[in-house]
Amino acid sequence: MQKLSSRRTTFLSFQPPAIGPEEVAAVTETLDSGWLTTGPRAAELERRVAELAGARHAVALSSGTAALHLSLAGLGIGPGDEVITSPITWPATGNVIVHLGARPVFVDVRDDDLNIDPALAVKAVTPRTKALLPVDLAGQPADLDPLVATGLPVVEDAAHAIEAEYRGRKIGAIAHATCFSLYATKNVAAGEGGIVTTDDDDLAEAILEYRLTRRGDGSLYDVRVAGFKANLSDIHAAIALCQLDKLERHAEIRARHVESYDAAMAELPGITPLARDPRDRHSLHLYVVRIDPEIAGADRDAYQRALAEEKIGTSIHFLPVHRLTYYRERFPDQPALPIAERAGREVLSLPLSPAHSDADIADAIEALRRVHAGFSR
């Protein structure tokens, strides 16, 4: 029998940021420069991300949520409109639709990768539908072609997917607007931040208008729309620029960790990673497994508690948004979405960050093996 190693003595964080001396120096330089708010570093970030995405425009914003919100606002979405989206996402994806007075129409996901089912999304289109909002869950691009083929604007929630490619094409210029997050855990982690890429000149201009309440020429300013305060500071942009420099190096580390996980999961009945489409480049942002309690001997919540006792941090991506209190109360006529609802009870995200060492991931795997052995005895 294989000998299992002993428990960790320190808690393994689920997704610690991989910050080094470069980021510290870049922040210090920014502070010394005297320019703290949106300035040359944010502009440089926009240039770099537009180039990476192969898009005409990139607009840096204060969060991924703002990127989604201002993209929909820039498309003129408002009361009476419907936006079709995925229930397996962070609630911000639905919230921004609600903020604009529109209705989120949640459709079910595919059982293998938990991304929006394109056939169901297309079927849900009505004359009130003004946009489709797919999510690239965990870093697997949504199936964009059938959504784009509807002719409706596609606003892609690519919060997890900055390096991703869909059928050989870089994410960032396939959808009408692609929204990235620079949140602390993301593949480009600035602490907070977001960025939209688009080829649509008018949309880019509209997002710029909404980004800051005050815009103007020369010494005067004017207000043409009631904008928001959603600009990115140069302090955050400086961190994001360093993280962009490390994008491929970090991706290699995560790929190594994912390989270790894949090998281990193949030997743990009842624990199955989400599917990754070999035609695409997955950004490997999250390693999400599904725990089938019938086979794995216990449900996801029991596994999460047992792993915490083993000092292994995990997370849940995601609980189905339409089942959260606000959405249940506000949209009581939302139909059941059986695949999403089952997935919401089964998903568990294992530790994955370029800040993790190979030994950290080995600890997570050993702990999961021990827990699995205990439950499936």
User: What residues are labeled active site?
Assistant: 186
182-199 burial, b for 16+ CB within 10 Å, e for fewer? bbebbbbbbbbbbbbbbb
Q: Which of residues 289-348 bind ligand PLP (CB under 6 A)?
A: none
Q: What size, in residues, is the chain? A: 377
Per-position x/- string for 227-256, each x denoting binding to ligand PLP as judged by CB under 6 A, each - no binding? ------------------------------
To ligand PLP, the closest distance from the beta carbon of 291 in angstroms equals: 21
Q: Residue with CB nearest ligand PLP?
A: 64
My answer on whether omega of the bond before 318 falls inside 30° of 0, hence cis, is yes
Minimum CB–partner distance for residue 37 and ligand PLP (Å): 18
Give the residue with the Cβ less far from ligand PLP, 52 or 68.
68
Cβ proximity to ligand PLP, 192 vs 363, nearer residue: 192
Residues 251-280 that bind ligand PLP (CB under 6 A): none
Among 9-17, 155-163, 233-241, 327-335, the segment contacting ligand PLP (CB under 6 A):
155-163
* Cβ proximity to ligand PLP, 317 vs 372, nearer residue: 317
Judged by CB under 6 A, the residue of 183, 210, 261, 303 near ligand PLP is 183
* Total of chain residues touching ligand PLP, rule CB under 6 A: 14
Classify burial at 149, counting beta carbons within 10 Å of its beta carbon; exposed 0-12, middle 13-18, buried 19 or more.
Answer: exposed
Q: How far is the CB of 116 from ligand PLP (least distance, A)?
A: 12
- By CB under 6 A, the residues from 193 to 212 that bind ligand PLP are 194
| CA pair distance 142, 182, nearest whole angstrom | 20
Secondary structure (DSSP) of 84-150: EE-SSS-THHHHHHHHTT-EEEE--B-TTT--B-HHHHHHT--TTEEEEE-B-GGGPPP-HHHHHTT
Taking the complex as a whole, the smallest distance from the CB of residue 296 to ligand PLP amounts, in Å, to 25
Q: Does residue 181 bind ligand PLP (CB under 6 A)?
A: yes
| Residues between 118 and 137 with contacts to ligand PLP, criterion CB under 6 A | 135
Sequence-distant (≥ 6) Cβ neighbours of residue 112 within 8 angstroms: 274, 275
Residue 41 or 285: the one with the smaller Cβ distance to ligand PLP is 285
Q: Of 71 and 129, which CB lies nearer to ligand PLP in the complex structure?
A: 71
CA atoms of 350 and 368, how far apart (whole Å):
9
Q: How many other C-beta atoms are found inside a 10 Å radius of the C-beta of residue 289?
A: 23
Cα distances (Å, whole numbers) of residue 278 to 62, 164, 165: 33, 12, 11
Phi, psi (rounded to 5 degrees) for 218: 60, -135
> Among residues 70, 91, 71, 94, which one has the least CA distance to residue 82?
94
Give the pair of three-digit tokens for residue 295. 């086979």
Residue 183 beta carbon to ligand PLP: minimum distance, rounded to whole angstroms: 4
**Taking CB under 6 A as the criterion, which residues in 50-109 touch ligand PLP?**
63-65, 89-90, 92-93
Amino acid occupying residue 163: E
Q: Give yes or no for a contact between 207 and 71, defined as CB atoms under 8 angstroms apart.
A: yes
Closest distance of CB 261 from ligand PLP, Å? 20
Given the rule CB under 6 A, which residues bind ligand PLP? 63-65, 89-90, 92-93, 135, 157, 159-160, 181, 183, 194
